[in-house]
Amino acid sequence: MVVKRAVSMLIGVLLVLNMFLGIAFAAEDDDAASPAGTRVETEKFTQLETAKMELQNKVTTLEKAKSANATTVAQLQSKLAAVKALADGLETAQGASAEEIVAVQAAREEASTALEAANDLIGNLTGAASEEDLLVTFDTAGGSAVEPQRVSAGDAIEVPERPKKDGLVFVGWYTDEAASVHMWDFLNNTVVRSMTLYAKWIKVDEKHRLLNAYASAEELESPYVAKTLQTLGTLSENKRELTLPEGTTVYIVPGVYWTDETYKEGGVIGGPNIGLSILGENISFLGLTEDATDAIICGNRGEGGENGLGANGSWYSLGISSGFHSENITIANYAQEDLVYPRDPSQNIKKRLDSKNHAEVLTRANGTGAPDKLYFENTRFVGYLNMMVGLAPTRAYFLDSFFQLTDDSIFSGGVNVYENCTFHFFGNHPSVNGADNGGVNVLLGSKIIGMPQMTSTDVYLAKQSNAIGPNANGIFALIDTQFTGRIESVEWENVVREDARHFVSNNTIGEGKTPLVISPSQPQTSVTLTGDALNAFKVGEEYNVYNLLKGNDGWDPKGQFNAEWEPYANLPYRFLVDAKGKTMYSDKADSTNRAVLTPAPAPADSVDVKNTVWSYDTNLLNGTVDAATGVITLTAKPNNTGAIVKTIVTGTLPSGISAGATLYIRPTPVPAPVVTGPAIDISENLATLSYTLDQLGYKDTSVIEWYRETGPDTTNGVHIGTMHNDANEFFIDEPYKNYSLNKYDVGYYLRAVIKPKYEFSSASAPITVYTKRPVTAKDVTETSLYTDFKNLYFTNEDNTTTKGRWFFDRVSGTAVPWGWGIGTNGTDKIWGLQNNSGGTNTRFVFGQTGSYRDMSLNLNYSSSKVEGQGFGGNGHFMDIYVKYDPATRTGYGLRVERTAAGGSNATIWTLYKYDGTNQIPLSEPIRTAAFMPKSTITVSVTGSTLRVQASTLSEKTPLQTQQNLPNSVDISWTDETGALGDNLFGGFGIRINNSGNSSYDYAGSGMTTNNTVMLHNVRVDASERSTKNDNIVTFDTNGGSEIASLVVAEGGKIEQPEDPTKAGFMFDGWFSDAKLETPWNFDMPVTTDMTLYAKWKEIVVLKATPSASVEKLSGNKNNLTIKISEELSDGNTNVISETFSISNNAAGTYKVGTYQVYVDTKGNTQIRECYIVE
C-alpha cells in the first residue's frame, strides 16, 4: 500500500502542475525566449516529470520484488533526491500569475508528502528500527583498510578516507559486491540497515583512462587520471579538440564534465561550433554506475550570438569519431535547461535563456567525415532543436537510451537502429529528411512521448524526403513501437510519397495501445510484416540487430551472430520500386506510354530480384517481365474515360515483403475547342467575359489574360490579370472570366485574351475580346482596393513611375519575392501567394496617384509555422507599408520579425518609419503570439496616429498560454511633429525576408514551403484628398455613437455636430488631439484634414435610495416590489425595479440590479425595514 501511495502522490504532483500550467514539456523550433527566471520556468516541470517517471519505475521494481537490498534502496534514495531537488527548484519570479504561484506552492507541498510516503516505503521494505545502531563496513577488495562506522537508522555516512591499492586507482564505494550498479551518494543516501560498501578499483594505462571530477591530488599524478575532459588526453591549442589513442576506454566517475571551459562565461564563443571534439577511433566512454544521470558530459551554448545562446549558428556539446561507444552516461546541452545535479549541488547551473531553441548535443568530430559503427547503451541525449542532426552516422546502434528533442534532431545518416529507446518529442518534426539515400531508421520496442506543449497532435517523422527506389531517403521500419502523450496521429512525412514503402509491425498509439495506422490517407505506404517477412527485424522475441547493421564488415554490436543465426543474417530490410514513366499517355506507342519498374531491395544481395512477383490491373496495362533482372515493363491500354486513371503496380519478394508504384494513365486526347460568341460586359464593379465552347461535356481549362487598354483595338496596354496555371499541371484554375473593377480602370478599355483548351486537348489559336466602351466612374462604386492575389499579374517595374497596380520594386538581385503555390504545415494544401527566400531586397508594392490622408490596410495571411515563431530563422521578417511612396521608398508601417528574444513561440512587432534603406523604430518592440496561421493585420493611419491591430483564429499553444503571451495586438504611435499627418502618399506594400519558397509541387514542397508566409487577401481604404482646397474632418468618438465625416472648405469652420452618446458616460467635448488635452474651438478655421476626438466622463451614482411595497395575493403568497432610485452625476434619475414572490411576514436580502437590499415585511402589505446592504 505504501508503494502505491508514493506513486499516487507523485502522480498527483504532476497532475497539479499540468492542470494549472497546461505544460509538461517545452517548445518547438529555432529561437530563444525570455531571460532565465522571469516566470515559472517550464523546463523544470519537464525535468520533474522525467525524474518522477524514473522514480515510478524504481518503486514498481521494488513493489514486484517485495524486498530490497542496499543497492536498490540507495538507488531509490537517489531518485528521491532528484525529485526533491527539482521540486525545491520550482520558482516563481516577477510576472508570475496568481495561478502559477498557487501551482508551485501546491506542487511543493504535494512533493513533500510524496517524498515522505516514499521514505515510509523504504522503512517498510527494510524493516529498520529508528533507534537501532547500524554497522557499515567497507570492503576494500585488498586495498588499505577503512574503519567501519556505526550510525543510526536514517543517518548519512561520513565520507571515509580514500583507500589505496598498488597498481590501481580508487573510484568510489558501491552498494553491490560487483561494484557496478550504484555508487554510494554520501549527500543523499542514508543507512536503513547494516550493510557493506565495496570499493571499486580501475587499472589505468595509455588505453584505459579514468575521468574523475573528485580524484585526489595523488591520484592525479597518473597521466591517465583526469578531473576534466580537457586533461584526459592531448588537447589542441584552441582547447577544442581532444586526441586519444585508438581503442581507448575512458571510465567516467559520477560527476559533471564540461566540454567547453567557458561554460560560465557570456559573450560569443569562436569556432569551431563544437564544445569538444574527440579525435581517435573506437573510443569508449563508460559511466561507472547503471544510472546514466550520474555521469554527465555537457555544454551550454547555442545559436543567437551574444543576445542569444552564446554562439553564431548551431553549436554542439560534443563531437565524436567512428567506433565511438558509450554506456551509462548523459550527453546534454544546458543552454536552455537548468542543470540540477543532486549528487553535488555545487555543479548546478542556470540556463542561459528561458527558451526551447537550438540546443545541439552530438555531432561528428571537427574535420572528420560521417562516423561509422557507433554504439550507445543506456545513454541519455538531452537537447532541443537540431539535437544530433549533424551526427548523420553511416551505422549506429542505440540500446536502452533516452532522447529529448524538438525538431530536425534525429534519424539522419545511414542505418540507425533504436532498440528499447524512449523519445520525448517536444516538436512534431523530429527529423529533416530521415535516413540518407539507401538508409533506414529502425525503431524496435521503443516508446515515443509527444508534444503536450503544442496545439498540434500530429507527428511527422520526416519533414520532406525525396526519390524512390534504391536512392530513396526517409525510409523507416517501426516494430513494436508505442506512441503516446498528446500524439493522436502519425505521418511518415509532411508530404507522403505515394511510392514509399515503410515496414511496420505491432505498433500502437495512446495509453490504451490502439493499433497504429501511419499515414492512413496513403495506406499502401505501410507494409505490415508477418511470418518470415518479419525475420529481417525480429526472430521470435529477439530483435535482429545483426542483420540491420552488419554491413560489409560483419559489425555485430549486440554479439548476436552465430551459426544458428546464419539464416537470418542477410535479409532485406528495405524494399522499394524504382519507377520510370509513371505518367503514361495511353494514345501513344512510344516511350511516353512506357513504365519501367525495377525492384530495389537493400541489401542488394539479400534476395534474387528475378523472383519478384508482379501484380497489376490487366484491364489497364500490358506487362512484360525480364526473367534475368525481375524488371517489368508496362504499357497502358487506351483510356477512353476522358479522365486520368490511377493504378498501383505491386512487386512481392519470395519472403512476402512487397513494394509498389502508382501509375497515372492519361486518356486519349480530344479535339481543341471551337469558341463562339465571345464578349465582355461591364456591370457595377465587374467585367464579365462570356463565350461558348463546342463540347460542353469536357472540362474547360482555357487560360485568360486581362489588359487595360487606351483604345478599342490597342494591344500595348497594361497587363492587369492572369492565371497561375503551371506547365506541369499541378494547379489548373477555373477560367478567369470575372475581372473586378477598381478606380484605376476608369477611362480605359479592357482586353481579354483567351487561349481555348480542354483538359485533354491541345490549345486553339488565341482569341482577343475588347469591351465595347471604356470603364466609367459610374461603373466603379467600390472605393476599396482589394485582391486575393489569385489572378493578380505582377512583375518587376520601375518604382519611380509605376502607379495604379501591384508590382515588384527590385533593389538588387533577380529573385521574385512572392510566388503562387501550395502550402504545408500551417497552410497545408492551401493555394496562395507565398514568399520566396531570395526576395529580401525586393518590395511588393502599389503606388497610387493623387493625394491621401487617412488610410488603412487589412491583410489576411497565414504562417506555415504553427508554434508562433512565424519565420524560418532568427533575423527573418515581414514589413507592411502604408502612406508609402514607391518612388522614394519612404513611408510608415510595421515590422514583424523573428529574433532570439522572441523565442520559439512568438514574434517581435515594432512600428517603423521607412526612409529608403533606413528604418527608424517608432515604438517599443512587443512580443506576441499573433503571427500564426489564419491571422489578420490591420495597419492604419488616422490623422497623426499610426496604429496596428492584429488577431489570429489559431488557438494558443499550451506554451503560449503558460507564458501568458497575447495573441492579439493593438499598438499605436502619434506623430507630434505633424509629418505623418502631412504625408499625402497613398501607396502601400509588403517586404519579406524568409527562408522558404513557393512551390506548385505539394509532394516536393515539404521543406521549402515549411518556412513561408502565405498572403490570402488584402483590402486597402484611403481617403483621397480632393483636388479642390477642401479638407476632410473625421470624428473619432472613442467608442461612442458614430458621427459622419465632414468636408470643409479651406479656411472654413466646422459645423458642430450633435453630441454623440455612449452608455454609462456623459459627453465632455471635442478635442483636437488623441490625448484629449486640447479642446477644439469651433470658431477656428480649418486648414488641413483633421480628426476631432470625443472626451467622456463616466456617469456615477451620487445617491441610491431604496423603497419597497407589497401586493397581497390569494393564499399566503404576496408580490414584493423593490425600487432603487439613483441620482446620477449628469442630473438625471434612474430607477431600478425588481418584483419577488414572498410569503407572509417574509424578511431577507434581495438582489436588485447590482444592489443587495434587505426588506422586512409585516403581515401581508406592511414594510418594517428597507435598506441597502453594503
pLDDT tens-digit map of 820-838: 999 988 998 899 999 998 7
Which three three-digit cell numbers place residue 237?
591549442
Domain with CATH 2.60.40.4270 in the chain: 132-203, 1030-1098
Q: Are 642 and 695 in contact (CB under 8 A)?
A: no
Which fold would CATH assign to domain 2-127?
Four Helix Bundle (Hemerythrin (Met), subunit A) (1.20.120)
Q: What band does 68 get if pLDDT is binned at 50, 70 and 90?
A: low
Asked whether 162 and 40 are in contact (CB, 8 A), the reply is no
Check whether 295 has a pLDDT greater than 90. Answer: yes
Dihedral sign (CA 122, 124, 130, 132) = negative
Angstrom CA distances, 11 to 3, 16, 72, 110, 492, stand at 12, 9, 21, 10, 33
User: How many other β-carbons are positioned within 10 Å of the β-carbon of residue 947?
Assistant: 18
Helix (H) or strand (E) holding 124: helix 98-126
Please, where in the chain does CATH 2.60.40.3440 lie? 574-666
Q: Can you tell me which residue has the cell 516538436?
A: 427
Task: Find out if CATH 3.40.50.10540 is the number for domain 671-782.
Answer: no
CA atoms of 931 and 785, how far apart (whole Å)? 24
Which residues fall within 8 angstroms of residue 285, CB to CB, at 6 or more apart?
Answer: 250, 252, 297, 324, 325, 326, 327, 329
Identify each DSSP E strand in 17-175 by its residue range.
34-35, 133-139, 149-152, 169-174
CA distance 1110 to 1142: 9
**What confidence score (pLDDT) does residue 6 get?**
38
The pair phi, psi for residue 17, each rounded to 5°, is -60, -45
CA 95 to chain CA centroid, Å, is 25
pLDDT at residue 705 tops 90 = yes
Class of domain 132-203: mainly beta
For 920, the grid coordinates are 527608424
CATH topology of domain 574-666: Immunoglobulin-like (2.60.40)
pLDDT of residue 25 exceeding 60, the answer is: no
Place of cell 575512458: 250
Q: What is the C-alpha separation between 405 and 421, in angstroms, rounded?
A: 14
The C-alpha cell 510608415 sits at: 892
Is-contact 354 41, C-beta < 8 A? yes
Which grid cell is 31?
529561437
The C-alpha atoms of residue 1046 and residue 1044 are separated, in whole angstroms, by 7
Check if the beta carbon of residue 904 is closer than 8 Å to that of residue 963: no
Instruction: Return d(Cα 1041, Cα 58) in angstroms, integer.
Output: 68
Is the pLDDT at 335 greater than 70? The verdict is yes
Three cell numbers, residue 1112: 397581497
Delimiting residues of CATH 2.60.40.2700 domain(s) in the chain: 671-782
Secondary structure (3-state) at 142: coil
Residue 960: its H or E element: helix 958-962
Q: What is the pTM of this model?
A: 0.69
Per-residue pLDDT for 748 more than 90?
yes
Whose CA is closest to 208, among 158, 169, 259, 161?
169
pLDDT in tens, 157-180: 999 999 999 999 999 999 999 999
Short-list 860, 832, 1017, CA closest to 932: 860
Asked whether the beta carbons of 707 and 753 are under 8 A apart, the reply is: yes
Question: What pLDDT is stored for residue 126 in this prediction?
Answer: 61
Phi, psi of 524 (to 5 degrees): -65, -15
Categorize the per-residue pLDDT at 121 as very low, low, confident or very high, splitting at 50, 70 and 90.
low
Nearest to 115 by CA among 66, 73, 82: 82
| Residue 647 vs residues 660, 664, 985: alpha-carbon distances, Å | 10, 7, 58
Does the structure show a pLDDT above 70 at 806?
Answer: yes
* The pLDDT of residue 1 is above 50: no
Check if CATH label 2.60.120.560 holds for domain 792-1022.
Answer: yes
> Three-state DSSP class for 18?
helix
359/355 Cα distance (integer angstroms): 10
pLDDT at 11: 33
Determine the pLDDT at residue 116.
Answer: 64
Q: Identify the CATH homologous superfamily for domain 1030-1098.
A: Listeria-Bacteroides repeat domain (2.60.40.4270)
pLDDT at site 114: 61
Q: Which residue has the cell 425595514?
A: 1169
Predicted confidence band of residue 24 (pLDDT cuts 50, 70, 90): very low
Local confidence band at 804 (pLDDT 50, 70, 90 cut-offs): very high
Element spanning 461, H or E:
strand 458-462
pLDDT digits (tens, 9 = 90+) for 229-239: 999 999 999 99
Residue 128 has pLDDT above 50, yes or no: no
Give dist(CA 971, CA 967) in Å, integer: 13
Residue ranges, CATH 2.60.120.560, the chain: 792-1022
| CA quadruple 1056, 1062, 1068, 1071: dihedral sign | negative
pLDDT band at 22; cut points 50, 70, 90: very low
Q: How confident is the model at residue 494 (pLDDT cuts 50, 70, 90)?
A: confident
Q: How many CB atoms lie within 10 A of CB 730?
A: 17
Angstrom CA distances, 62 to 111, 123, 184, stand at 20, 12, 19
Residue 761 pLDDT: 92
Handedness of CA 955, 958, 961, 967 (dihedral sign): negative
pLDDT tens, 678-704? Answer: 999 999 999 999 999 998 888 999 999
| Gap between the terminal Cα atoms of the chain | 53
Whether the CB-CB separation of 857 and 1007 falls below 8 Å is answered with: no
pLDDT of res. 117: 61
1136 contacts 1124 by C-beta, under 8 angstroms: yes
For residue 562, give every residue at least 6 positions away whose Cβ sits within 8 Å of its Cβ, in sequence order, or none. Answer: none
Residues 6+ apart with CB under 8 A from 1141: 1117, 1118, 1119, 1120
R_g of the chain computed on alpha carbons: 37
* Selection from 555, 508, 626, 128 nearest residue 322 by Cα: 555
pLDDT above 70 as % of the chain: 89
d(CA 547, CA 534): 12
* Cα within 13 Å of Cα(666), Cβ side: 18
C-alpha grid cell, residue 185: 551518494
Q: Quote the CA–CA distance of 314 and 303 in Å, as a whole number.
A: 5
C-alpha cell at 349: 547551473
Apex 536 CA angle, 533 and 542, nearest 5: 110
Per the CB < 8 A criterion, the answer to whether 243 and 277 are in contact is no
Measured between alpha carbons, how far is 379 from 330 in angstroms, rounded to an integer?
A: 6
CB-based contact 875:896 (threshold 8 Å):
no
Edge-first strand order for the sheet with 703-709 is 718-721, 703-709, 749-755, 767-770
Kindly state the DSSP code that residue 248 receives in the 8-state scheme: -
pLDDT surpassing 80 at residue 1004 = no
Any idea which of 56-60, 570-574, 729-733 has the lowest mean pLDDT? 56-60
570's CB contacts (< 8 A; 6+ apart) are 547, 550, 603, 605, 606
Mean pLDDT of the chain: 89
Phi-psi region of 467 (alpha: psi -120 to 50; beta: other; left: phi over 0): left
Q: 460-495 burial, b for 16+ CB within 10 Å, e for fewer?
A: bbbbbbbbbbbebbbbbbbbbbbbebbbebbbbbbb
